[in-house]
Structure 1
Amino acid sequence: MDPELTTLAQSAGVTLVGLMATDAWERARDGVVALWQRARPERADAVAAELTHTRDDLAADSGVGEELAAEWQGRIRRLLTERPEVAADLRALLDELAPGERTVAPTVAQRATASGSARVYQAGRDQHITER
């Protein structure tokens, strides 16, 4: 398979699962189902049900996010293998859902050393500190 399509599938899996716990979820679900409707209409209803099950699994155990993203990566990769012409539609959907944020799962490594009465504050994302 084309490495670019593999990267696209990986990005789509991560983005899709990442959006399951956000306000953008319904838009993401509808977009993915519409993608399948255009490419493989006979599977669209099953994909809608699988998305619902995936979201339920994630809600029950947030620790399975990477596993679920990998599952969707595989599904999307297979779709792109069968119908490479939907890659443009998938890219457009990802750009709409998470503009500028399409990446492979980020890795954050932090190290800090403090001594005496020093303090270290680290965050992988936003951090708000109010000291009194």
Structure 2
Amino acid sequence: MDAEIPALTSTAASTAVTLLVTDGWAKATAGLASLWSRVHPDRPRVIEGELLEARSVRMARPRAL
């Protein structure tokens, strides 16, 4: 089980980054905000803002070849 956590985390991070630069971002943001609001119920808008900021930062960078 412990060995599976880093692999799962890596896959989730990779998927989140892919969604940052695709049209699926609106659904991904809603889903991630919903998930994180279970952990931090007092911060749903803050989390959505952080996700939007992360997307803005990523979209401002040139794509790697």
**Alignment correspondent of 1:52:** 52
**Aligned-pair CA distance for 1:37:** 1.3
User: Are the structure 2 counterparts of residues 23 and 62 from structure 1 closer, same or farther at C-alpha, using a change threshold of 3 Å?
Assistant: same
Structure number with higher relative contact order (C-alpha < 8 Å, ≥ 6 residues apart): 1
Aligned sequence identity (%): 33
Unaligned regions of 5+ residues in structure 1, if any?
65-132
Distance in 1 (alpha carbons) for counterparts of 2:18 and 2:8: 15
The higher radius of gyration belongs to 1
Letter in 2 for 1:5: I
**Aligned-pair CA distance for 1:30:** 0.5
Q: CA RMSD in A?
A: 2.1
TM-score, with structure 2 as normaliser: 0.79
**Aligned-pair CA distance for 1:12:** 0.9
- After TM superposition, the runs of 4+ consecutive aligned structure 1 residues lying more than 3 A away are none
**Alignment correspondent of 2:43:** 43
Q: Report whether the alignment pairs 1:33 with 2:48.
A: no
Q: Report whether the alignment pairs 1:17 with 2:23.
A: no
